[in-house]
């Protein structure tokens, strides 16, 4: 659906235009949100984020603008940014533990200890990545958390893919040194 098609539909019947836009792009938005939140969010978090994306599209869409392109890029950008904000919010508030067991029994001490240790390790890793500074921290997060390739990262940072790979390599070496200083044994590959 192009911008002109949506604008024409909106002028005739706003509700139908929004429903049509939602139906056409729901799977696309859900795929973007799922890829960003699958490591830390629940299904409810993902559904809430999808709702936030469409809410933002409907509220901030410029119906009088001169844009005459495909709405997919606009919606994809809003979905990606909204999902990243949700990811940051979830990570800032810690990992949420969902108990699906109706009996309410807690996991054994070994699993609880393992989860706690992993949570501490993830927090340390994110803190150290942020300490690398810009754009190195962004490059590491985009490559390893969001599975972006060097070309995609290069486009976002106005760099060449070779420069991104070089910066990533150097940042990983710095990160390894910082992790070793924190007491993590990199020889065992436990990070």
Give Cα separations from 69 to 78, 82, 83 (angstroms). Answer: 15, 21, 23
Structural domains in the chain, CATH included, are: 3-92 (1.10.1740.10), 109-185 (1.10.10.10)
Look up the pTM and report it: 0.47
pLDDT in tens, 64-99: 555 566 678 888 888 889 999 888 888 876 644 443
pLDDT in tens, 94-134: 644 443 333 444 444 456 666 666 777 777 788 888 888 88
Residue ranges of the alpha helices (H) in the chain? 3-12, 14-37, 43-60, 71-92, 109-131, 136-144, 150-157, 161-181
């Amino acid at each position: 659906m192009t911008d002109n098609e949506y604008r024409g539909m909106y002028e005739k019947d706003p509700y139908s235009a929004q429903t049509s836009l939602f139906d056409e792009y729901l799977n696309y938005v859900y795929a973007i949100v799922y890829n960003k939140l699958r490591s830390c969010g629940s299904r409810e978090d993902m559904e809430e984020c999808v709702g936030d994306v469409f809410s933002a599209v409907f509220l901030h869409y410029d119906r009088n603008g001169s844009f005459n392109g495909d709405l997919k890029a606009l919606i994809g950008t809003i979905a990606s940014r909204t999902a990243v904000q949700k990811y940051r919010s979830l990570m800032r508030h810690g990992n949420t533990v969902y108990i699906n067991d109706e009996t309410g029994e807690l996991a054994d001490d070994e699993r609880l200890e393992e989860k706690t240790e992993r949570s501490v390790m993830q927090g340390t890793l994110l803190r150290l990545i942020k300490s690398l500074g810009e754009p190195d921290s962004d490059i590491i997060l985009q490559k390893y958390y969001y599975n972006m390739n060097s070309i995609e990262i290069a486009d976002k940072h106005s760099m060449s893919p070779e420069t991104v790979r070089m910066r990533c390599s150097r940042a990983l070496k710095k990160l390894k040194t910082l992790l070793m200083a924190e007491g993590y044994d990199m020889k065992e590959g436990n990070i």
